[in-house]
Structure 1
Amino acid sequence: MLYTKAPLIYSRAGIILRCISSLLSVTAFITFQVKIEKHAYATTDIAITYLLFAAAVFLEFYAFLCLVLSDWTMIWLIGKGGNALTSAIYSQLRKLTGSKRWSRSISQYNLKSSSFESEPYRCLKFLGIDEMMRQMHVNRKYLNEELQGLIFEHLRGKAWKI
């Protein structure tokens, strides 16, 4: 919760803002469709505008699906008195979307190869490409059961101390 936007997104204000954003996107599209005289503009401009409206509506719909199918929604449902039926329906929805909870892999940073690399140019930092170059030294490795158990026990011990 500390490093995420979850407290804002899952609050009453966050849900209201999400609804307002969606309604404004749809309202702008309808206004463009009805009120704007399209013959005064180039066909290319109109096509780009429709493409941007379609992308905005698609992104709003995708954000809504991510919100509804998130783990936070499941936690909220259980906290509001959800029963086993609610959990079963929710887990079936997650299976239909094909979202995995964990890929059974872990990121591994190659310190040796990154330390021999020279400092990126200042213009790359300005464009944000330096972060992409840093990610080139990260590999995904399969996490076997033994290492998974070791990490879990270590975290359980830390939690017990706290």
Structure 2
Amino acid sequence: MLYTKAPLIYSRGGIILRCISSLLSVTAFITFQVKIDKHDYSTTTDLAITYLLFATAVFLEFYAFSCLVLSDWTVIWLIDEGENALTGAIYSLIRKLTRSERWSRSISQYNLISSSFESEPHRCLELLGIDEMKRQMHVDRKDLNGELQGLIFEHLREKAQKIKEDLNMLI
């Protein structure tokens, strides 16, 4: 609930909109493949770019769907649905696919001093996105000590408790 898009994305309406979006992308690609006369395009470059854009759109829809299915919210929904054979099998499959370390026990630290001495990046670097890569050069990962880790965990626990209380007041 800390993310503003989560309640919409994981609602029934959000899932329906995701399915409609995916279906429309695939339908447009198939329609272009079957119905559109390819001789109307002046060059093969136009066709190549069109196919590339369609393939990218379908890939992005597939990627978004896989992120939706493999997310923690799906796991929480499966746990809430109770234990039957199907949800248990899906839950174990998702756990195997997403088995990764959740937290590296380190925190990012931005070095403001070194970045302030650096000159402004050239305009062409900004267009290529290299300026963002240069900004990341000033970020270091530092190991987190136990005291700070406990402080962060306690803060998140208080936030979760406040959200829980706010939801109970609404109901």
Q: Smaller-chain TM-score range?
A: 0.7 to 0.9
Contact 1:74 1:87 (8 Å CA) reproduced: no
2:154 aligned with 1:153, yes or no?
Answer: no
Question: Alpha carbons of 1:54 and 1:157: their partners in 2 closer, same or farther (altered >3 Å)?
Answer: closer
- Offset, 1:65: 0.6
1:53-132 matches, cutoff 5 A: 53-82=54-83, 86=87, 89-96=90-97, 99-117=100-118, 120=120
State TM-score, norm by structure 2: 0.71
The C-alpha deviation readout for 1:13-63, integer Å capped at 9, x for no partner, is: 111110110011011011101110012212221122111111111111111
2:25 aligned with 1:25, yes or no?
Answer: yes
**How far apart are the structure 2 equivalents of 1:44 and 1:140?**
45
Unaligned runs of 5+ in 2: 163-171
Aligned length in residues: 156
The C-alpha deviation readout for 1:58-111, integer Å capped at 9, x for no partner, is: 111111110000011111221222469846743443433565423443211113
**How far apart are the structure 2 equivalents of 1:130 and 1:7?**
34
Unaligned runs of 5+ in 1: none
Question: Alpha carbons of 1:33 and 1:103: their partners in 2 closer, same or farther (altered >3 Å)?
Answer: same
Number of the residue aligned with 1:34: 34
For residue 39 of structure 1, what is the amino acid of its counterpart? Answer: H
Question: Alpha carbons of 1:89 and 1:12: their partners in 2 closer, same or farther (altered >3 Å)?
Answer: closer
- Offset, 1:10: 0.5
What CA RMSD, in Å, does the superposition of the two structures yield over aligned residues?
3.2
State TM-score, norm by structure 1: 0.74
Number of the residue aligned with 2:14: 14
**How far apart are the structure 1 equivalents of 2:15 and 2:153?**
34
